[in-house]
Amino acid sequence: MHHFQYKNNELFCEDVPVRELAEQFGTPCYVYSHATLCHHFMVFDQAFADVPHLTCFSVKSNSNLAILSLFASLGGGVDIVSGGELFRARRAGVPPERIVYSGVGKTREEIDYALREGILMFNIESTQELETINTRAAEMGVSANIALRVNPDVDPKTHPYISTGMKKNKFGIDIESAIKAYERARSLDHIQILGLDCHIGSQLTEVSPFVDALRRLRVLIERLADIGIGIRFLDLGGGLGIVYDQETPPHPHEYALAIKEELTGVPCTLIFEPGRVIVGNAGILLGKVLYTKRTLHKNFVILDAAMNDLVRPSLYGSYHHIQPVIRQEREMEVVDIVGPICESGDFLARDRGLPMMRPGDYLAVMSAGAYGFTMSSNYNTRPRCPEILVKGSEVHVVRRRETWEDLVCLESIPEFLRTAPAAASGSSL
C-alpha cells in the first residue's frame, strides 16, 4: 500500500499533485510519502508487538536524515554498514543503544568511532575482524558488544548480487565454524557476546528461506547453550521483498507468524533489519521527457533522469513500473526509456508499453524509495537530484539539488598547473 494515486487522471503524492513538485523543484527528483513511510514501518514493527524485539532500519537502503529521524521517532533503530552511516544515524537522533553495525570491511577508525559512541553491538563477519575489535577495545579500555554473523548456506531465491547467505558469498562465518568462533570470542578479555546474526539476502518473495535459516540458527543457539554461551539477541536481518511488478511477497504479518512459530521457547530479543520493505514503495523518481526518437529498430523516450540517478535497472536488470504523471488518451507504443548518460547501459526500462510521449511530459518511476538515491552518483558530472518529503499537503525539501559548484568544491588545481605554460600544439608523443 502506498499514497501515490491518480485523482482525475493526475498522479498525486498524498494531497500534492506530483506535476506541481516537478514544476517547482525541477527534474529529476525523488519524492517520498510520509504517510507511506509511517504505515510501512508501523505494520512491520507491530507484527512483532507480542515478542521482545527491535526494528533496525537498514540505512543503506535510504540514508536521508529526515527519514532516519522519522523512524527513530517511531521507536526504531538502525542497521549500519559504515562509519558514515553511523554519523548519519547519530546526526538524525538515533540512540546508540538502537544501532547495530554490520559489514565485512570495518576499518579501525570506524571501529573506534562505534566504540566511542557505545552502539548496541557489532555484527562480526570474520575471525580477523573479531581480533581487531578486541584489540581496539583493549586500547580504549572498553568492552565491545558483539554478535557473530553466521552464514547458514540457505538459497534465498533472489538475484545473485543480493544473495548473502550461501557458502559462496563473502558475508559471515560458515555455520560449521561458528562454535569455534564463539569459543574464541568468549576467551577475549574485551569482547562481550550478546547475540547471533544472520542475513540471507534481499528482495525475498517467499517465507521458506527465512524459516530454513532460522531452523539452523535454532540448533546453533542450543549447541551454544550446551557449552555455556548464552544468546540474548537474535538478529534475523532483513530481506523481505516488495512488489515491483508481478511479485507476491509475504505480508509482514505472515512473515512474523512464521518466525514466531519457529522461535517458540527461544528466550531472545529479536532484531530485524528491514529496508526495502519499508521505503521501497514509499518513493518515486520523477523525470521529464527531453526527446523522443524513433528508428527502424527501436523507439526511445529520452528522459532527464538517468542511470546515475537510479542505477538498479542497469546494474541488476531490475524492473520499475513507469507511468505518466498525467494520464491522457494516446496511442500506445513499445519504447526503451533511457537517459542522457553516455553509456549504452543507461536505461530505466526496455521494451515497455507507454502512451506516446511528447517532450515536456513527466514520467514517474515507481518503487524507487530503496536503493535509489543512496546508489546515485555524479557520473558524467551530473548533480545529484533533490529529495522531497510530502506530508499531507506539506512539502519539505529534505535534500536540495546539487549545483555545479558543489561538484567541484572538494577539488583543487595545484599551483604549478596554474602557472605552467600551455603545451605546444602539434607536439609528438
Which residues are tagged catalytic?
342
The candidate with the shortest Cα–Cα distance to 207, out of 145, 280, 172, 257, is 257
Ramachandran category for residue 144: left, alpha or beta (phi over 0 → left; psi -120 to 50 → alpha):
beta
User: Cell 516537478 sits at which residue?
Assistant: 22
> What distance lies between CA 89 and its chain's CA centroid?
14
- Grid coordinates standing for 39? 504505515
In the three-class reduction of DSSP (H, G, I as helix; E, B as strand; rest coil), residue 251 is classed as: coil
Residues 6+ apart with CB under 8 A from 34: 14, 70, 389, 390, 391, 392
Q: Point out which residues pair with 191 in neighbouring strands.
A: 144
SS3 content of the chain, % helix, strand, coil (to 5): 35, 25, 40
If 0-12 CB within 10 Å is exposed, 13-18 middle and 19+ buried, where does residue 306 land? buried
The whole-angstrom separation of Cα 189 and Cα 21 is 56
49 touches 272 (CB < 8 A):
no
Distances in Å between the alpha carbon of 233 and those of 53, 212, 313?
9, 19, 36
C-alpha cell at 291: 526527446
β-pairing verdict for 387-391 and 394-399: antiparallel
- Nearest Cα neighbor of 122 from 186, 195, 69, 45 is 195
Rounding to the nearest 10 degrees, give the CA dihedral for residues 375, 378, 379, 380.
150
83-91 and 65-73 are packed helices; what angle lies between their axes, rounded to 10 degrees?
A: 60
In total, the chain counts a number of residues equal to 429
Cβ contact 325:19 at 8 Å:
yes
Q: State how far the Cα of 112 lies from the Cα of 8, in Å rounded to an integer.
A: 55
| The three cell numbers locating residue 115 | 566504540
Asked if 355 and 332 touch (Cβ cutoff 8 Å), the reply is: yes
